[in-house]
Structure 1
């Protein structure tokens, strides 16, 4: 039987668009309060007005060390507690490695890997003290197999798969569930650098999914009874072929 999320407090990074926004909406609909973490202040202001008082905006730049370190304390100051942490923010690099400059590689690894590890590290003491909590990380099907056309992105997601599954084992004895959702291609800003022809063909062939189809998987994970942990959910477009 599904557990209620009414009265719980969640934080979602990358909450102003894509999977993060879809998850925010789903959590609000389920009765949770959501701290929406994003660097886009204008988008957060607009969405806060649209989504209501239970959507609390927090401007955080996860690529800035000081801003990243202040994230969890800021959430706790605003909301008082944190039951759910959804580490969702990320970026994408496709193409051959030689086509990518090293500054872009650094930026992606800092956001996709380092920020996730730091955010999880910072929220653990609060959840351990309370003896409960859920940490969900947005990973990717690219974290389960080598995708030859995205070696940097795929490498970052392999790192996250390892991190999530080791943290699951470290934290389960403290009442904290840790899991990941691993989507295939999602219609979002992460595909902004896809060639238009590739994007068009993927849409026409049914090889992309909507952010809401990922958020539904996340909600399933979060609403399982506490004796159940969903360690990973791979969510693919039916016609996606890798």
Structure 2
């Protein structure tokens, strides 16, 4: 493994890769030498992201909320880049505020993407990784999975579910040489924050309680570059001021 390019020769796929944590993670992996397939439904934003990353990035336009498209993720990734070593399940939606004010359709859409799609994507890539006897799966969770956040009961519940999924699947597949872990960042400067309650967003900005997506990507890279005998199973990261 090259110190400069620790992921040289690896193939990675990242969902929700056209912006935010997804594109930052793809950038970090490409900079570390991996060939990265960026997966998103926003074709224009995806093309822009791949152009910015360079020759190691390839776009895959998929609407993960479409069952047939979702099921094609692995085969289409293999066709683009070859055997898959790393899968970062990052795509997600946010629903915040009081539950009584939530739109039921928005709840359905968020739970479908944040929970069901993650499970289906991992279910899709696991047989391939098991056959190869190696692989890394990272799921983007949230600080909300570790604290009953009162202003986002729907979103927090989806991330609690994801954390349980990560914990249980990891125990099933480590015998196959597959590592499964999650990152749980506090508030990250992404488009998801556009749906935050205005007063909470203003408070976070005023106190410096936000994380850059690139800082989350650095942690993803750290997890991926540990010796194969070590699993970084969960990382909770937040701005120091967030607990004030």
Give the TM bin, normalised by the shorter chain.
over 0.9
Question: The residue matched to 1:240 in structure 2 has which SS?
Answer: helix
Give me the TM-score of the superposition, normalised by structure 2: 0.96
Q: Which runs of 5+ in 2 are unaligned?
A: none
CA distance in 1, matches of 2:63, 2:24: 20
Superimposed CA distance per residue, residues 56-114 of structure 1 (whole angstroms, 9 cap, x where no aligned partner): 10001111111101111100111111000000000111111110011110000000000
The alpha-carbon deviation at position 50 of structure 1 amounts to: 2.7
The alpha-carbon deviation at position 197 of structure 1 amounts to: 4.7
Aligned to 2:96: 94
Aligned to 1:136: 138
Question: Are 1:42 and 2:44 matched, yes or no?
Answer: yes
Aligned to 1:21: 23
Question: Are 1:115 and 2:138 matched, yes or no?
Answer: no
Correspondence for 1:151 among 150, 153, 166: 153
Aligned to 1:193: 195
Give me the TM-score of the superposition, normalised by structure 1: 0.96
Superimposed CA distance per residue, residues 146-177 of structure 1 (whole angstroms, 9 cap, x where no aligned partner): 11111100100000000000010000000000
CA distance in 1, matches of 2:157, 2:17: 24
CA distance in 1, matches of 2:49, 2:20: 13
**Contact 2:115/2:158 (<8 A) preserved:** yes
CA distance in 2, matches of 1:112, 1:71: 16
Correspondence for 2:206 among 174, 181, 204: 204
Number of matched residues?
A: 242
Supply the RMSD in Å over aligned alpha carbons: 1.5
Aligned to 2:233: 231
Q: Which runs of 5+ in 1 are unaligned?
A: none
Structure 1 runs (4+) deviating above 3 angstroms are: 195-198
Question: The residue matched to 1:154 in structure 2 has which SS?
Answer: helix
CA distance in 2, matches of 1:138, 1:46: 22
CA distance in 1, matches of 2:157, 2:207: 27
CA distance in 1, matches of 2:198, 2:105: 25
CA distance in 1, matches of 2:178, 2:219: 19
Superimposed CA distance per residue, residues 184-220 of structure 1 (whole angstroms, 9 cap, x where no aligned partner): 0101011112244532331221111100111111111
Aligned to 2:222: 220
